[in-house]
């Protein structure tokens, strides 16, 4: 088999046993990495109804087929388990350098079961693995842990994936970092690692990707060509120049900058948190992921010191800034650093604090509940103390560490109305009332609200744009307005979701391939052919994506999820309070009709949202249909 | 008129400037102004004319207007 070692490392933390298995090519072609391998193993090796923070949970870390290849943006790996935040299929991707390093170490995926008696870390080098004690690393911050592991193993090029104090304390939205600057943020995967007493996974590999490829000359030529094309593309140049924090101003102008817990779509002090301020007062360097020409990562100085934990992304600026009514970019950068030191998901952390602020303003909680903190919107003084209290589960922080859904249940009254979450996971910083596909993605996503289910609507609104043209070979026929849920738009949603899912399978970032249009779909197919020798076409590619989505859905159905869980927070069906979209609400009946149509397109029962046996068998998932019938 | 070029539209001006002054004697279609400046109208997603938003560059602009242009913005 070309393009992969096909090797899976199994780790039983209870017994300490390590074992390597090899995948067959026919299997790998159906499940070529990432989200697909995660879905397969979670469904096949874990019974339903296990407690996410118990030894019974299975943690899967998997590279994509193209991860580590010389194709720009192919750097991602997935971490997956039953989520302690949603209690459904859990998944979070990260980019950076760790995934490529694992590939060079000759391992495609790691399956971690059980629980270690004492804290341990996993050390993988060139196909060999061992568990090592990590008691001396527990309770310490990532920069120290990484330096200690590298010193202990005598190689500063070792890449370290790790959890922080929030993961050790089982905060339900604890994150994982690699190289200190890249994050598997969502779904609480850090808490799953913490529950297993697994502090870190250190990796070093010396293989070269080219040596694994079917046609290495063609792959290298393609890689060089794509790198050049990415550099020339104006939208890519903008990501290189400003990165995601550059989004703030345009979203505000469009009335879709989530502000004060999604009550508003525009922030009156946006000028204090926009890119020009970021660049002038915080920025120290621009950085990249492995061999990626987009180079969208920022580095900043906090309190005059360069932060080793990277600069805040747009999501973080939005979550700690406008969504909490806070306009101090220095404070936001500090909150980002503190969250990344403790390893909390910055989206869920900011969104849960915004939820608490709104409960406070409505008198549902008082200073007696909040340890005296004055949680009014805009009061920046509470931000850093709250992050610390959440990560250490201290006082009021212990309640917020449960996430907004569970906190709302405990607070009672109307608090649930202020919890901006789907399936227990907080909304990312994107306002669905101005882009309806994003709302549909929040609702239907297997992992709870997330912004990476389909490309955002404005990208495909103009038929003459580069983005629209690049999406045509995926099967996108007509440009559609952002505030529409038409039948044709749902047909596009169905295609775009399969494509995004496929990207999560093979390890591609969304900031490159179509519809972003820096990289054309045909070039991705050519890359897979050069890597594997497979004669793959667009139909097979979209089927791979759809197969992965369906496994995640079957997992959730087994856990009791159904159409009743594919919903949006009630607030989104109410009008926005300000901005250019003031008065706009998500149309409820159209939304429900569109959801029904989408289920039908997906071959799912329109009443229950459960996949039908017929569709599962078309996707070579007859075994998953059997599992559904057993439950 | 004052023209703000959001995001990468600034790359189409010398020195990557975001704010530029454009002299127009009579009210003119924005599409035509952009065409002269070499800014691809197909990539414009949001047009804000004196704080009024629209999604089309087919608007008539006069010399006292302030116009802001943004490309589509997605996830991050």
Residues of A in contact with B12 (CB under 8 A): 234
| pLDDT above 90: residue A311 | yes
Give which of A93, A233, A235, A479 to mutate to test B binding, by max B Cβ within 10 Å.
A235
B63 min Cα distance to partner chain A (Å): 22
Provide mean pLDDT across the span A549-554: 98
Per-residue CA distances from B18 to A142, A184, A532, B2 (Å): 39, 34, 45, 10
Residues of A in contact with B46 (CB under 8 A): 250, 253-254, 458
Q: Looking at the partner chain, which of B8, B53, B72 has a beta carbon nearest the beta carbon of A237?
A: B8
Q: State percent of chain A over pLDDT 90.
A: 96
- Kindly report, residue by residue over A576-609, the tens digit of the pLDDT: 999 999 999 999 999 999 999 999 999 999 999 9
Q: What ipTM did this prediction achieve?
A: 0.79
The reply to whether residue B75 touches residue A253, judged by beta carbons under 8 angstroms, is no
The reply to whether residue A456 touches residue B74, judged by beta carbons under 8 angstroms, is yes
Which residues make Cβ contacts (< 8 Å) with residue A130, sequence separation at least 6?
A18, A122, A123
Nearest to A168 by CA among A229, A121, A119: A119
Q: State percent of chain A over pLDDT 70.
A: 100
Nearest chain B residue to A247, by CA: B73
DSSP A312: P
3-state per-residue secondary structure call for A549-566: HHHHHHHHHHCCCCHHHC
Q: Looking at the partner chain, which of A237, A451, A462 has a beta carbon nearest the beta carbon of B45?
A: A462
Q: How much helix, strand and coil, in percent to the nearest 5, is found in chain B?
A: 25, 30, 45
Q: How much helix, strand and coil, in percent to the nearest 5, is found in chain A?
A: 45, 15, 40
Nearest chain B residue to A296, by CA: B76
B39 min Cα distance to partner chain A (Å): 11
B6 min Cα distance to partner chain A (Å): 7
Provide mean pLDDT across the span A278-283: 97
The reply to whether residue A451 touches residue B75, judged by beta carbons under 8 angstroms, is yes
Provide mean pLDDT across the span A105-118: 98
Residues of B in contact with A244 (CB under 8 A): 76
The reply to whether residue B48 touches residue A253, judged by beta carbons under 8 angstroms, is yes
Give residue A223's pLDDT band: very low, low, confident or very high (50, 70, 90): very high
Per-residue CA distances from A616 to A28, A184, A542, B3 (Å): 18, 29, 14, 53
Taken as a whole, chain A contains a residue count of 631
How much is the pLDDT for B35? Answer: 92
A457 min Cα distance to partner chain B (Å): 8
The most distant pair of C-alpha atoms in chain B lies apart, rounded to whole Å, by: 41
Number of CB atoms found within 10 A of residue B16's CB: 13
User: Residue A468, CB half-sphere, CA atoms under 13 Å: how many?
Assistant: 19
Nearest chain A residue to B39, by CA: A234
How much is the pLDDT for A260? Answer: 98
Mean pLDDT, chain A, whole residue set: 97
Q: Looking at the partner chain, which of A430, A466, A580 has a beta carbon nearest the beta carbon of B75?
A: A430
How much is the pLDDT for B75? Answer: 56
A241 min Cα distance to partner chain B (Å): 9
The β-bridge relationship of strands A120-125 and A198-204 is parallel
Contact yes or no for A426/A407 (Cβ under 8 A): no
* SS3 state of residue A78: strand
Buried b (16+ CB within 10 A) or exposed e, A573-587: eeebebbbbeebebb
Provide mean pLDDT across the span A136-165: 98
- Kindly report, residue by residue over A452-490, the tens digit of the pLDDT: 999 999 999 999 999 999 999 999 999 999 999 999 999
| pLDDT above 70: residue A235 | yes
The reply to whether residue B7 touches residue A251, judged by beta carbons under 8 angstroms, is no
How much is the pLDDT for B74? Answer: 65
Size of interface A-B (CB pairs under 8 A): 86
Give residue B53's pLDDT band: very low, low, confident or very high (50, 70, 90): confident
Residues of B in contact with A185 (CB under 8 A): none
Contact yes or no for A137/A197 (Cβ under 8 A): no
Give residue A437's pLDDT band: very low, low, confident or very high (50, 70, 90): very high
Give residue A209's pLDDT band: very low, low, confident or very high (50, 70, 90): confident
Contact yes or no for A207/A105 (Cβ under 8 A): yes
CA angle A563, A460, A524 (to 5 degrees): 90
The reply to whether residue B76 touches residue A244, judged by beta carbons under 8 angstroms, is yes
Provide mean pLDDT across the span B40-54: 89
More confident residue, A393 or A237: A393
Q: Looking at the partner chain, which of B42, B53, B74 has a beta carbon nearest the beta carbon of A580?
A: B53
How much is the pLDDT for B56? Answer: 85
Give residue A631's pLDDT band: very low, low, confident or very high (50, 70, 90): confident
- Kindly report, residue by residue over A536-551, the tens digit of the pLDDT: 999 999 999 999 999 9
Contact yes or no for A76/A176 (Cβ under 8 A): no
Q: What is the pTM of this model?
A: 0.96
The reply to whether residue A254 touches residue B7, judged by beta carbons under 8 angstroms, is no
d(CA A174, CA A387): 12
Provide mean pLDDT across the span A354-371: 98
- H-type helices in A301-448, by residue range? 314-320, 329-342, 346-361, 383-391, 396-400, 404-411, 415-418, 436-444
The reply to whether residue A465 touches residue B55, judged by beta carbons under 8 angstroms, is no
**A interface residues, B as partner, C-beta within 8 Å:** 234-235, 237-238, 241-242, 244, 246-247, 249-251, 253-255, 313-315, 428, 430, 451-452, 455-456, 458-459, 461-462, 464-467, 481, 510, 516, 580
DSSP A74: B
Residues of B in contact with A430 (CB under 8 A): 75
A93 min Cα distance to partner chain B (Å): 13
Q: How buried is residue A535: exposed, middle or buried, by Cβ count under 10 Å (0-12/13-18/19+)?
A: exposed
How much is the pLDDT for A28? Answer: 98
How much is the pLDDT for A469? Answer: 94
Tokens of A84: 């302690």
Provide mean pLDDT across the span A337-364: 98
| pLDDT above 90: residue A43 | yes
Nearest chain B residue to A317, by CA: B76
Tokens of A583: 């008065």
Tokens of A252: 């505000």
Give residue A330's pLDDT band: very low, low, confident or very high (50, 70, 90): very high
Nearest to A181 by CA among A162, A167, A153, A166: A162
Q: Looking at the partner chain, which of B11, B48, B73 has a beta carbon nearest the beta carbon of A458?
A: B73
Query: Token match 């204090």: residue?
Result: A272
DSSP A472: G
B27 min Cα distance to partner chain A (Å): 24
Give residue A182's pLDDT band: very low, low, confident or very high (50, 70, 90): very high
């Amino acid at each position: 088999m070309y393009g992969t070692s096909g090797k899976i490392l199994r780790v039983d933390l209870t017994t300490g046993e390590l074992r390597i298995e090899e995948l067959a090519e026919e299997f790998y072609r159906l499940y070529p990495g990432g989200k697909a391998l995660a879905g397969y193993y979670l469904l096949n090796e874990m019974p339903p109804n296990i407690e996410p923070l118990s030894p019974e949970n299975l943690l899967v870390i998997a590279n994509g087929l193209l991860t580590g290849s010389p194709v720009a943006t192919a750097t991602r790996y997935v971490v997956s388990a039953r989520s302690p935040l949603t209690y459904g299929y859990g998944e979070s991707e990260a980019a950076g350098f760790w995934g490529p390093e694992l590939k060079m170490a000759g391992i495609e995926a790691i399956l971690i079961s059980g629980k270690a008696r004492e804290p341990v870390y996993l050390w993988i080098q060139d196909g060999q693995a061992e568990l090592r004690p990590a008691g001396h690393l527990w309770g310490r911050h990532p920069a120290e842990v990484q330096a200690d592991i590298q010193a202990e193993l005598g190689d500063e090029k070792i890449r370290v994936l790790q959890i922080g104090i929030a993961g050790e304390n089982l905060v339900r939205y604890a994150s994982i970092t690699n190289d200190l600057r890249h994050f598997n943020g969502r779904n609480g995967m850090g808490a799953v690692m913490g529950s297993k007493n697994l502090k870190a996974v250190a990796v070093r590999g010396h293989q070269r990707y080219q040596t694994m490829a079917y046609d290495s000359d063609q792959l290298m030529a393609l890689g060089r060509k794509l790198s050049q094309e990415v550099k020339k593309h104006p939208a890519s140049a903008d990501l290189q120049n400003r990165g995601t924090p550059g989004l703030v101003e345009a979203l505000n102008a469009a009335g879709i900058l989530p502000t004060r817990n999604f009550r508003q779509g525009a922030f009156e002090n946006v000028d204090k948190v926009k890119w020009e301020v970021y660049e002038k007062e915080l920025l120290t360097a621009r950085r990249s992921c492995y061999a990626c020409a987009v180079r969208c990562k920022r580095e900043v100085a906090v309190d005059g010191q360069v932060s080793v934990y990277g600069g805040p992304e747009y999501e973080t600026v939005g979550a700690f800034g406008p969504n909490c009514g806070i306009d101090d970019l220095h404070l936001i950068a500090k909150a980002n650093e503190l969250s990344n030191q403790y390893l909390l998901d910055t989206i869920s952390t900011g969104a849960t604090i915004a939820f608490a602020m709104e409960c406070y303003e409505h008198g549902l909680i008082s200073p007696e509940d909040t340890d005296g903190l004055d949680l009014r919107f805009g009061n920046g003084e509470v931000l850093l103390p709250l992050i610390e209290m959440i990560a250490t589960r201290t006082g009021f922080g212990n309640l917020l560490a449960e996430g907004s859904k569970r906190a709302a249940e405990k607070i009672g009254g109307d608090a649930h109305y202020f919890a901006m979450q789907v399936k227990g996971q907080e909304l990312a910083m994107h306002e669905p009332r101005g882009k309806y596909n994003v709302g549909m993605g929040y609702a239907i996503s297997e992992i709870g609200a997330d912004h990476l289910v389909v490309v955002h609507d404005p990208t495909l609104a103009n038929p003459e744009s580069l983005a629209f043209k690049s999406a045509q070979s995926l099967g996108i026929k007509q440009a559609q307005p952002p505030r529409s849920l038409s039948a044709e738009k749902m047909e596009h949603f169905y295609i775009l979701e399969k494509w995004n899912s496929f990207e999560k399978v093979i390890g591609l970032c969304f900031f490159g391939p179509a519809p972003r249009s820096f990289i054309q779909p045909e070039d991705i197919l050519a890359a897979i052919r050069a890597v594997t020798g497979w004669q793959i076409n667009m139909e097979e590619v979209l089927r791979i994506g759809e197969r992965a989505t369906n496994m995640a859905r079957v997992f959730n159905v087994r856990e009791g999820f159904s159409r009743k869980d594919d919903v949006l927070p009630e607030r989104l069906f109410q009008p926005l309070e300000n901005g250019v979209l003031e008065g706009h609400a998500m149309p409820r009946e159209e939304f429900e009709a569109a959801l029904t149509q989408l289920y039908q397109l997906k071959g799912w029962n329109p009443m229950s949202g459960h996949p039908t046996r017929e569709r599962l068998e078309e996707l070579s998932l007859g075994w998953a249909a059997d599992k559904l019938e057993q439950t | 008129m004052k023209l703000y070029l959001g995001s990468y539209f600034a790359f189409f001006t010398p020195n990557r400037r975001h704010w530029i002054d454009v002299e127009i004697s009579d009210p003119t279609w924005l599409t035509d102004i952009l065409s002269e400046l070499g800014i691809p109208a197909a990539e414009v997603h949001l047009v804000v004319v004196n704080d009024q938003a629209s999604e089309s560059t087919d608007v008539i602009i006069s010399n006292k207007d302030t116009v802001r242009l943004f490309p589509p913005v997605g996830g991050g």
